[in-house]
Structure 1
């Protein structure tokens, strides 16, 4: 079928592409929330379904990412459906930095290998910085916010693959 490593590759690719599409929609559509939600629904369905298909081979770390991704996406859908204007700045901006900080912080704590731990700890710290910036002024990163998220969320997952091989080779 496929491996956890290929699942990680799919997470990295789908997250990166979804953030870049989100940035494009944000720059070209005045009211693109529904288009963004559909983009993320489709993009995250890929690794979520792959996780379900992995079954018992999916470890706790994978399930943590699935659960927080689904929770954050459902929160966005709820805010959109209820038109909660007061929550929109948090939901559509800060939440995705907070989400990344939690996910990458947990990942840094549980993965093997010093370089992998360092990669994910740096990603978590960058997400905390992004969350603080967006909490202070959501428009401060306007025009490139989702490009930043594509880099600090997608790239660490893509870099993990060679670091994992390097760690596994050194341990053997």
Structure 2
């Protein structure tokens, strides 16, 4: 029904757009947590549903992303529902950097091709740095945090497709 490449493109597009919308909501609404949660729920439903529809044509890597995305989103919903003020800075900021570090670290280990492995390892390292910054002081990136996340979470998935094509072309040449 869907190819892995089209699925990866949808993951990259929805993540990039959802982070940019999150940045907009954060800059324009004083209490936009519900709007952000709805944005992410709808955005992540698209590639998650596509993954479910692909069934056996997916791989373990895609399921890792589905599971960690669902876990992080459910954690955010729980924190919002319980109004846990102590957890909000971690949940709405540092968690998404940690999430990226874990997901992209696993991706770097799982993908084939030196260029793809290198790209995902660099992205995982950038997420570790971002997580440390967020844990030290979430205000350090205020005003552009989610733009950075859009660039280092969504864009690598979009770049993976041409890297994979180049790798395939080199292997068949």
TM-score (norm 2): 0.99
Residues 20-169 of structure 1 aligned to structure 2 (within 5 Å): 20-169=20-169
Cα distance in 1 for partners of 2:103, 2:14 equals 16
Q: How many residues align?
A: 172
Q: Deviations over 1:85-126 (max 9, x none)?
A: 000000000000000000000000010000000000000000
Q: CA deviation at 1:39?
A: 0.0
Q: CA deviation at 1:169?
A: 1.2
Q: CA deviation at 1:168?
A: 1.0
Q: Deviations over 1:118-152 (max 9, x none)?
A: 00000000000000001000110000000000000
Cα distance in 2 for partners of 1:148, 1:61 equals 23
SS at match of 1:31: coil
Cα distance in 2 for partners of 1:55, 1:153 equals 24
Cα distance in 2 for partners of 1:106, 1:2 equals 23
Q: CA deviation at 1:170?
A: 1.1
Cα distance in 2 for partners of 1:126, 1:161 equals 21
Cα distance in 1 for partners of 2:101, 2:171 equals 28
SS at match of 1:139: helix
**Unaligned stretches of 5+ residues in structure 2:** none
Spell out structure 1 runs of 4+ moving beyond 3 A: none
Cα distance in 1 for partners of 2:83, 2:20 equals 24
SS at match of 2:141: coil
